[in-house]
Structure 1
């Protein structure tokens, strides 16, 4: 044994910048203060040294981690019987075979592990090899956080399926990908260099993910070519040492697209033979192939309904082919049709129950129905999907989103674990018995053999994986909650902070505050009271566009008019959705007096003057919440700035950039939503904030030279509903105004539009002296879905702090267009210290 004297353990001082690639597996060096005796093993005994074995991987990880944390080499020993002063890692069976005393190991479930640090020998034993690797990562996590407890801990998973779904396309693009291009595919095939895939496998194994779907649910049939099947085998070979099984998404119409058949009817014998043959080929190359993910009869994807077959017929087609290999079919419940909004009883939220409840018990035992956490589509707040309470004889899994499709697309800090917990902890009261969603998906509540979790996780080639350092908290939290849904979301977050940014209390407390306030803040400034996220649903799902919710067939309606707002989902007068829940829950949502305020507009259609439980009217709460949420987002910038020097410069600057962007964009959100409903309802803000901006100067009111005034669509995306663009896409334009503000020091904020198609340049002058400049390069610096329009997604803000002005000073902005970006401007705000525009 070697000893390290430790008591108060802190991270070593910052030495070099970090790009985020190691995420929470940095294994940052620790230093010791005072004296505490920590004994670490002098050698590691791995009970399987095959290089494809997760036990061997665990041994390598332990060596690497201990070396990095303590600057002490711990080598693997070939003397397996010299167990004293050693760290033993392996399976329970191998431990019993070698040492003959496996009776002292507690009972473990599949993938479970026992970590025992009591006594001279550290034992990390898994029920299987994957479990042993999980135990190694748990031990290193403790050490990296300065936790040197003597424990004997049993860790068993809540659910057998803990998968991630990649939405990667064969051309290397990623649907809803905000962190770079695919690490798996390029130019129609599998990439040659899989180093990045191995690094991703390591991250996933450390949070106990055991399966991955590598391609988009809108699947390309070319993935099933012989060449690509061989490529999938190479991917599986990389994941195997980390205990992760590879699966793929399928295109239901593949038999006609590449199989030479004239039908993809799931009951046709030729179709059955086609899928049997494809499955056999996959298992011949990938013996531990996980199975299939299927999106059928949804958003234009083909499926069994084409032939008047049931969704169960479709799922069971694949289940039969996979059954000899113990493979699993994950069949998405995201099935719905476009609807007629003029039909008061039409409701997309009813679709999942309508399609799947009649099929309960008709799915094969190796089929798992994958259900989005809410009945619409990854909204900022939805009620728990009632489908969980309607499938008693069918395996189910919950689908979550690590990728922030409707939730700021990784440009806004939104820590999602608290949102997920509202669903996982929700008691559906099936049969008037405790029926938490977490117990349903685990298989426990209805005694099902399979179940679990799946998350859309669109990592890419960006060094930060998701495009944002802070967004990685969601990937970490997903794995932790899939393993144990009872975990506290703040405790999970703080583990992630310590592992990612270090042990300093200031860092821990600050990032905790920012993250735990982030989801409530985003909900407040984007959409509240159950109205959903009022983003651009007919466009790129980014930025405010409340009018896009209605007057279309997509069914994410608000039914807002001049006097009323909200969906009536009651049984007595509405769509009947509330009645799809068990009686106790249905009665709560049916009655407006017992419906929580945060879901009021999801279940009830009310006047803007309806009084909430809080005492506010609906419209006044909208105004108050949007201003409060944006104010919280401004505070995130100052909180992060307080960490300067406590976090390496590279990550500090990258996070600061995004927090500054979010602060500006939250004001765009606040104004757009507030202005839209003020215009629609005609009811003013009691606090006189909406439409009242004494610190602003509208761009169109300035003296324009080479600029033209244009309307903005949607109108609410711009202050005063208009903007200016250069008259030519090759010649600079100038705007100027005399400032009528009192002498003083101001923050000078400029709202502009950063559209795709060019990188315009703006320069700001005060009395012909340059204050600063910026470039419209969000396509390079932010990963969100881009837009070529002046809209809520491209509206942005840049701020120059501490500008001294005198009344009568001349402010000038020169905009130099580039390509399609005609240097658009919205307004300028001169903000005194402490004032939020």
Structure 2
């Protein structure tokens, strides 16, 4: 608690623009000099320092001081005029009398009333009062100083985040530094960062958090970590964020029992004892999250028990304490046989869960990924949402960009989530939007809501990329109210996070709204999924990794055709898992939306689309268009120079330049793969033809450089690069030279090289022995993306030197120095007419 109080005291201290404040900067607004109508004091109707109402009072004082430069006194007095009153409805009525405004408040909801001299922020509960305080501060921080009065209630009672943190401090699919919760097998000593995170979550109305990986370890349940869990709960409680944990199903066996059978009395007794121990230390714990019988995790199927048997065992021991069990529907066989035409991972969730509807206890919530596979750039809504009318359900989204650029690429995800939440499943031919199913409204269920995998880390800006925070902010806003507009949410975030300057708002809005379509274009479109390395780290391109394995994320691509046939008539039957109206739409190739064509239908590459293009030509064109859009983000961002603080401006510029280069890697890898597979030419004669490139292996090699075949071959230009074959302990150098074959002029010179994570090689480039530039292969220090130790699509990257004057016949030299296993790999040099980053 002392650390928490020190944290509250530190909130008044100014910090640099490093992204740590996120959208809670409380920067001065244009109207800040006019404070005559600002209330004179703050009345917080609770003095208990662990209370969210007390926190709300402190937050209001901090925000108003930042926005207006005026410090308001805080009390729990009884003044009615010229004051900001924050508290619960019950406390307000005790102090000031009844109010008709409160009768429509739901759990966590609030009433906000702003007039000339007074502000009333009244929550249905303490958490709601804090949410209302943050809402008020958001209004005034954006210069919205006019009067208003409204009630705001949540769409769903469950609005959680999941953190995939491991006890050793690593984070599975985390791209922003180590865990803020764990290190060396235990909870960290200093929880200041955890309190800061709880504050961010409360500001977007998140009420629960799972702090550890769904691939859980039994050691989390030892006495030391239970005490650590209590300390975490203590610092998050003042912000209304309830803590929960993921469980390893086989934990009883790890602690000495001979079984983990959920119907065994000794197992039930063991879990009951552990649960009692936890709740004795954390009486308001949110509950448990369970991943069972998926991807090698243990579960009830081991003992021929049902998944409901397993979920209900936890539900029964948690129920006396008010705990919820979130039971993941991400259950599938990862050893499928692609040669079996009807095998389909997309069918797994319905096959495992549909016959269990109504068999789950009332405090079990089935947590369903938004699509039927795994956080792809585009998937149809999971059909399971339509199959559990008698069970509580929640949607699982992903803020951490596992398959979507790992925060090295800008991808604003709210438009994707909106499409999912607003999708009408048409259950029993009645309106059945996903957002109404998960809220419990459609099927009259008591519980439901949202969970998002976030994976914040120790990076000062929480998620690695400053612009990635728009996804966390948008998730909270949509979890509370899914009817909100993705663009309006984004613009609120920009105004709060960066500036109210209209050019800043317009530019970041344009970049963000273009980002998801662009990423879809240069990674995998027409419903083919994200064509990444699914057997590896899910970052770079590797379309051949999609097939010929048991993971079931297949494209079934061959030399003539591509796509999964998921029809009932001839395929896996996945289309038939949807309610009748939706099933009929997906069964028919003419009515299937083209952005899901290859998800539901297996077609020849020459299949004509409504545009008149063939499927393969659409692939070629889209990948070029996507890379062009990614490149356009660089000058867009550069147009904001001088309008943003230097640190965040430079940080984002670095990542946008990286994304522009990596989008070319994606473009070429995917296009080359399908060009080679189909033997169908690009109508525009671009694929496989790069007149502005000089291949490294075609230059004069000296020193330690030798040609190296790239695997997969499409990840390298011409399937070949060069590298210095050094040992772990030996660093050596090499160089390549050639004469410039292009006409004299001013060029942007790009060098495509490989930056692997097991060393920090260095390079330099010169023209006629005059140095143009030099750099180090240290992206592992600058980007949080998953590590890779091979020259492939994950590690291929580009550095560009702008505005270089070149004479035809100049001697070009690139010199590399290896470091350990990193052999200073080079793919090619490209000379681009100035300003054309991806023309090659």
Instruction: Please identify, of 262-271 and 102-111, the stretch whose mean Cα deviation from structure 2 is larger.
Output: 102-111
Q: CA deviation at 1:727?
A: 4.2
Q: CA deviation at 1:38?
A: 6.2
Report the counterpart of residue 580 of structure 1 in structure 2. 577
Query: Take 1:169 and 1:633, find their aligned partners in 2: how far apart are those partners?
Result: 33
- Which of 55, 58, 70 lines up with 1:57 in the alignment? 55
**Quick check: 1:106–1:154 contact (8 Å CA) kept in 2?**
no
**Quick check: 1:17–1:649 contact (8 Å CA) kept in 2?**
no
1:78-106: per-residue Cα shift (whole Å, max 9, x none)?
4x221210100000010000111323445
SS at match of 2:774: strand
Report the counterpart of residue 560 of structure 1 in structure 2. 557
Q: How does 1:4-43 map to 2 (within 5 A)?
A: 17-32=16-31, 39-43=37-41
**Quick check: 2:403–2:532 contact (8 Å CA) kept in 1?**
yes
Query: Take 2:103 and 2:37, find their aligned partners in 1: how far apart are those partners?
Result: 24
Query: Take 2:40 and 2:612, find their aligned partners in 1: how far apart are those partners?
Result: 65
1:671-702: per-residue Cα shift (whole Å, max 9, x none)?
00000000000001001111111100000000
Query: Take 1:452 and 1:474, find their aligned partners in 2: how far apart are those partners?
Result: 17
Report the counterpart of residue 211 of structure 1 in structure 2. 208
Query: Take 1:103 and 1:49, find their aligned partners in 2: how far apart are those partners?
Result: 26
Q: How does 1:730-809 map to 2 (within 5 A)?
A: 730-809=731-810
Q: 1:64 to 1:168 in 2, by over 3 A?
A: same
Query: Take 1:135 and 1:516, find their aligned partners in 2: how far apart are those partners?
Result: 29
Report the counterpart of residue 3 of structure 2 in structure 1. none
1:24-65: per-residue Cα shift (whole Å, max 9, x none)?
0000112339x9786211000000010000000000000000
SS at match of 2:401: coil
Query: Take 2:188 and 2:543, find their aligned partners in 1: how far apart are those partners?
Result: 41
1:807-837: per-residue Cα shift (whole Å, max 9, x none)?
1000000001111101000000000124322
Query: Take 1:154 and 1:82, find their aligned partners in 2: how far apart are those partners?
Result: 23
Is structure 2 residue 233 aligned with structure 1 residue 266? Answer: no
- Which of 173, 194, 198 lines up with 1:197 in the alignment? 194
Query: Take 2:821 and 2:382, find their aligned partners in 1: how far apart are those partners?
Result: 43
Q: 1:596 to 1:104 in 2, by over 3 A?
A: closer
* Gap regions ≥5 residues in structure 2: 1-13
Report the counterpart of residue 718 of structure 1 in structure 2. 716
Report the counterpart of residue 607 of structure 1 in structure 2. 604
Report the counterpart of residue 318 of structure 1 in structure 2. 314
**Quick check: 2:101–2:111 contact (8 Å CA) kept in 1?**
no
**Quick check: 2:169–2:183 contact (8 Å CA) kept in 1?**
yes
SS at match of 1:39: coil
**Quick check: 1:763–1:774 contact (8 Å CA) kept in 2?**
yes
Is structure 2 residue 662 aligned with structure 1 residue 665? Answer: yes
**Quick check: 1:17–1:648 contact (8 Å CA) kept in 2?**
no
Query: Take 1:39 and 1:314, find their aligned partners in 2: how far apart are those partners?
Result: 58
1:239-289: per-residue Cα shift (whole Å, max 9, x none)?
10000100000000001001x211100000000001111110111000101
Q: CA deviation at 1:796?
A: 0.1
Query: Take 1:489 and 1:669, find their aligned partners in 2: how far apart are those partners?
Result: 27
Is structure 2 residue 88 aligned with structure 1 residue 88? Answer: no
- Which of 165, 170, 174 lines up with 1:173 in the alignment? 170
Q: 1:727 to 1:323 in 2, by over 3 A?
A: closer
Report the counterpart of residue 152 of structure 2 in structure 1. 155
Query: Take 1:36 and 1:487, find their aligned partners in 2: how far apart are those partners?
Result: 31
Query: Take 2:776 and 2:689, find their aligned partners in 1: how far apart are those partners?
Result: 29
Query: Take 2:430 and 2:642, find their aligned partners in 1: how far apart are those partners?
Result: 53
**Quick check: 2:748–2:835 contact (8 Å CA) kept in 1?**
no
**Quick check: 2:30–2:143 contact (8 Å CA) kept in 1?**
no
Report the counterpart of residue 325 of structure 2 in structure 1. 329
SS at match of 2:31: strand
**Quick check: 2:392–2:440 contact (8 Å CA) kept in 1?**
yes
Query: Take 2:733 and 2:280, find their aligned partners in 1: how far apart are those partners?
Result: 63
Query: Take 2:441 and 2:103, find their aligned partners in 1: how far apart are those partners?
Result: 21
Query: Take 1:101 and 1:248, find their aligned partners in 2: how far apart are those partners?
Result: 40
Query: Take 1:807 and 1:100, find their aligned partners in 2: how far apart are those partners?
Result: 86
Is structure 2 residue 426 aligned with structure 1 residue 425? Answer: no
Report the counterpart of residue 253 of structure 1 in structure 2. 250
**Quick check: 2:768–2:810 contact (8 Å CA) kept in 1?**
yes
Report the counterpart of residue 99 of structure 1 in structure 2. 96
**Quick check: 2:734–2:816 contact (8 Å CA) kept in 1?**
yes
**Quick check: 1:544–1:669 contact (8 Å CA) kept in 2?**
yes
Q: 1:399 to 1:38 in 2, by over 3 A?
A: farther
Query: Take 2:442 and 2:214, find their aligned partners in 1: how far apart are those partners?
Result: 29
SS at match of 1:485: coil
Report the counterpart of residue 237 of structure 1 in structure 2. 234
Number of aligned residues: 820
Report the counterpart of residue 6 of structure 1 in structure 2. none
**Quick check: 1:727–1:733 contact (8 Å CA) kept in 2?**
no
Query: Take 1:809 and 1:601, find their aligned partners in 2: how far apart are those partners?
Result: 48
1:102-158: per-residue Cα shift (whole Å, max 9, x none)?
234452000000000025321000000000000000000011111112101110000
**Quick check: 1:93–1:102 contact (8 Å CA) kept in 2?**
no
- Which of 683, 706, 709 lines up with 1:708 in the alignment? 706
Query: Take 1:327 and 1:221, find their aligned partners in 2: how far apart are those partners?
Result: 19
**Quick check: 1:17–1:651 contact (8 Å CA) kept in 2?**
no
Query: Take 1:248 and 1:16, find their aligned partners in 2: how far apart are those partners?
Result: 32
1:326-346: per-residue Cα shift (whole Å, max 9, x none)?
110000000000200000000
**Quick check: 2:157–2:447 contact (8 Å CA) kept in 1?**
yes
Q: CA deviation at 1:176?
A: 0.6
Query: Take 2:212 and 2:725, find their aligned partners in 1: how far apart are those partners?
Result: 44
Report the counterpart of residue 383 of structure 1 in structure 2. 380
Is structure 2 residue 547 aligned with structure 1 residue 550? Answer: yes
Q: How does 1:816-827 map to 2 (within 5 A)?
A: 816-827=817-828
Is structure 2 residue 218 aligned with structure 1 residue 221? Answer: yes
SS at match of 1:508: helix
Query: Take 1:140 and 1:787, find their aligned partners in 2: how far apart are those partners?
Result: 43
Is structure 2 residue 78 aligned with structure 1 residue 77? Answer: no
Query: Take 2:643 and 2:439, find their aligned partners in 1: how far apart are those partners?
Result: 41
**Quick check: 2:327–2:365 contact (8 Å CA) kept in 1?**
yes
Report the counterpart of residue 11 of structure 2 in structure 1. none
Query: Take 1:167 and 1:619, find their aligned partners in 2: how far apart are those partners?
Result: 38
SS at match of 1:673: helix
SS at match of 2:331: coil
SS at match of 2:37: strand
SS at match of 1:181: coil
- Which of 306, 309, 320 lines up with 2:305 in the alignment? 309
SS at match of 1:40: coil
Q: How does 1:355-434 map to 2 (within 5 A)?
A: 355-434=352-431
Is structure 2 residue 292 aligned with structure 1 residue 296? Answer: yes
TM-score under structure 1 normalisation?
A: 0.97
SS at match of 1:217: coil
Query: Take 2:400 and 2:31, find their aligned partners in 1: how far apart are those partners?
Result: 38
Q: CA deviation at 1:800?
A: 0.2
Query: Take 1:831 and 1:515, find their aligned partners in 2: how far apart are those partners?
Result: 26
SS at match of 2:104: coil
Report the counterpart of residue 684 of structure 2 in structure 1. 687
Q: 1:617 to 1:98 in 2, by over 3 A?
A: same
SS at match of 1:658: helix
Query: Take 1:320 and 1:340, find their aligned partners in 2: how far apart are those partners?
Result: 38
SS at match of 1:438: helix
Is structure 2 residue 442 aligned with structure 1 residue 441? Answer: no
SS at match of 1:470: helix
**Quick check: 1:738–1:809 contact (8 Å CA) kept in 2?**
yes
SS at match of 1:235: helix
